[in-house]
Structure 1
Amino acid sequence: MILGLRTAIYPAPDLPAAKLWYSKVLEQAPYYDEPFYVGFSVGGFELGLLPSAQPGTVGPQPLWGVENIETSYSRLLELGASALEPVTEVGGGIKVAAVQDPFGNRFGIIENPHFNASSVR
C-alpha cells in the first residue's frame, strides 16, 4: 500500500554547491550529510541530493508547497534558478510554477489553499 510522498531526490553532481544552494532555498542545513547523499527535512518530507545521478527537467515532477507563490518564485530566481514555468493559476485558487535549479533540475512549487497538512501520514 502506498502511504504517500516521503522523499524527492534531485541529482547533484556538484554536491557541495547543491548543498549550499538548497540550504539557502530551504533556509536550513541538511539533517543528513554524507558524501553519497544529503537529506533535508521539509515539512515532514525529504528533499534529497544524490551526487551520482544525472540532472534533468523531465520525468517525475514533485511540487513543493509554498505560502505565497509569487514571492517564492521571485526568491528562487534571485538565488540563481532559471525560469521554466511562470506562476499560473490552474483552478480553485491553486497556483503552480517551476524553475530550473543551477544544477539542471526542475524544481516545482505549488500554492494550494486546499492542502490539508493534517491528512499527511
Structure 2
Amino acid sequence: MSLRGIATVNVWADDPEAAAAWYAEVFGVEPYFRRPGPDGATVYVEFRVGDHQHEWGIIDSRFRPPALATGAGGAVVHWHVDDLEKTVARLQELGARELQPITPHGDSGFVAASVVDPFGNVLGVMMNPHYLEMLAGAPEA
C-alpha cells in the first residue's frame, strides 16, 4: 500500500451552486464539471486548481456520509491508490473503520472510499483517472 498523492478534496454545502460561485471567486476559475441529481439540481461541482490541477469537489450536503452529518463538517482528502480494494482492506486490518464504502462515482473510473483511523481522523482513498493522467504528463524529476 502506498499513498500516491492527493486526488480530490471534497467539501460539503447545502447549496452547491452558491458554494461554486464563492469558490470560483476564491480560485479565480470557473468549475469545469457539474453533475445534476435526479431532480435536476446540481449535486456535485468540481474545480481543477493550482499548478497540478488538484481537484476540489463540492458535494450536496444531502450526500454527506452519515457519520459526518452529525458532527463537525469538513473536507475529506482522497489519496490516489493503485488498488482500492486492497488498500481499504489493509487499512481495516490496521484498525480503521469504514466511513464510506467503496463507491463508484459515475462510469468514468472514479471510485472512492473513506475510513476513520483509530485516532478519529478521516482518510479518503480513491482510484482517480485524472491523477494518473497528470502523473503521466509530469516532467521527469
When the two structures are superposed, what TM-score results if normalisation uses the length of structure 1? 0.50
Q: Within 1, Cα distance between the matches of 2:72 and 2:114? A: 10
Change (3 A) 1:71 1:106: same
Deviation digits for residues 30-53 of structure 1 (CA, Å, limit 9, x no counterpart): xxxxxxxxxxxx6477xxxxxxxx
Q: Name structure 1 gaps, 5 residues minimum.
A: 1-24, 27-41, 46-55
> Which protein shows a greater Rg?
2
Counterpart position of 2:101: 86
- Which segments of structure 1 move beyond 6 Å, counting only runs of 4 or more? none
- Kindly state the Cα deviation for residue 62 of structure 1 after the two structures are TM-superposed: 0.8
* Contact kept? 2:5, 2:80, Cα under 8 Å: no
Change (3 A) 1:89 1:103: same
* Contact kept? 1:62, 1:108, Cα under 8 Å: yes
Q: Name structure 2 gaps, 5 residues minimum.
A: 7-70
Change (3 A) 1:44 1:71: closer
Counterpart position of 1:97: 113
Counterpart check, 1:71 vs 2:99: no
Counterpart position of 1:106: 122
Q: Which amino acid aligns with 2:111?
A: K
Counterpart check, 1:62 vs 2:77: yes
- Kindly state the Cα deviation for residue 110 of structure 1 after the two structures are TM-superposed: 0.9
- Kindly state the Cα deviation for residue 113 of structure 1 after the two structures are TM-superposed: 2.3
Report the aligned-residue RMSD: 2.6
